[in-house]
Chain A
């Protein structure tokens, strides 16, 4: 989810012009007076604890903490087509963080995307979702953040080209695309579903990655959860267009979100690994609620525990090998020993016939995972997959992906694999230096 929302670039010129004109009247919001940072012991510890769980659900640390930097001290570069936005310092440091923010300013930022001093915040901060967070939860988040260690750190200045560096233009974007009250509510669906809806559409901001965005960087309301992208990863479709070979059930989603893997689907990696690592520590009921709601979104069948008959079928190896003999040879030599070892997940390789990376219309995730592998999480039981970036060349990669698609995906060949491989290599080069392992293991628990 990190550098996600890079696409939220949404401040294309047309909008800006139109928006600026229309929104002139609201381009400035009043400043809220600064306060002296409240002492940590003035906050109710129970409130702080609740805030901690909410911050984990909101995945706050992923964007607001960089490797080697202080927790929540910001500075993560979020690239957009219009330049780079850096995440802000949300520690209670008075000078560089939010230490001087009264609670009302924090709540306003969450609700309306406005800074304490009245400036509009770029929608890389997903207030289009956070606007749905309740006052009570905002207060808990505030209590949590204000009791963190203050870190004096100013993020680098945003590197946006004119006119995108002109903040008042955000007003136009907001007028077009930002409106609260997006949380569906349905008494008939029960409390768990409604809790899930509140979390998913609000704090958890799942759609920020999993919903495609329009040319102006806003989530497409008519394609909710139809699949988006983040950091050269494809965030899979979660609605009824999902390409998962086995349909997701609420139980499967719960296990996946809670433990980071699920036997019928595989292991979370890429940006999703950070999400599930955060969800490992939040209340069980909230993970269940998220799972229940998302299962409903995806049109999940009743959880009868059975896989659709054709889910794990695959093209006969010989047929697939004919389609790409080179790829077949690479798979047999480099992949099969783990992926056909029959060792259960998460430490055995997933049966690739179950992998959405192979059935997805977008080959990038598969390319990313083959190149980068899965690194060890410090000191915790966690899956490791060796990356092949240094040993496999682009031609071999394309052959391998092609073979996997034919044999396990049983779908039409991917187009432009060369570009997908090039992009994956570029992304891999960036991520090598980028971040440390997730703070909390997503794969904790029974080996």
Chain B
């Protein structure tokens, strides 16, 4: 990175550190922070969407849809995350490939399952075996997003389901008395009011999601915890220009600061949202705001 880094053995300590912290390997570490933030930025709305769908389905009067929503909430919440991540992702990936295989290679005569191997024709591979590495990484990333969204969506669905029931029933009845249809009551009365009840539960989920990102490595995505372990491990002078002892503690300390800082910022933002949502609501928070305004 810097020009003086070429003779790394004679560097004064500060410059050595500057060179050390800008190796290609460290760049991978810094980039993985972006990966994690991007994952959170995409997963959170996606999970909310899954949750909203699940909760609406679980409230539905259509029986099959109702069962589907309730089964989704119950099953996904009940399966341990790690089992879900190991089993479901491989199954999902194989399901995609199986479908592509049926479409693209109809005259394939060999069995797809050969002992332990899962063999589909080359054209059905996802991504194709010939694809460059970044395509594989992007694909893995999106499979990770989808899995996270399904898992956290189930928890969000349960939170939203509860929040929808917490909206005072009198409000719904009044809306119906005014002649609103089911759909209108749902979108104009129920949904705008439920968020204030859902937010505490959703903010918990968000915090858990932030901390769950190391599960990414199970899916082959190199996340910050992987790099911290890799970079912090003892570096033998035979294999690196920047040898050092076991520095994992320092790397994990950096992660600690990152996670704590990130959750703190989240808390501040969530507090603001809560204040805004409480405005004009028939809740204790909303009442407090009304009083404060009256006093002023």
Answer whether A and B are interacting partners.
no
- Chain B interface residues (CB < 8 Å from chain A): none
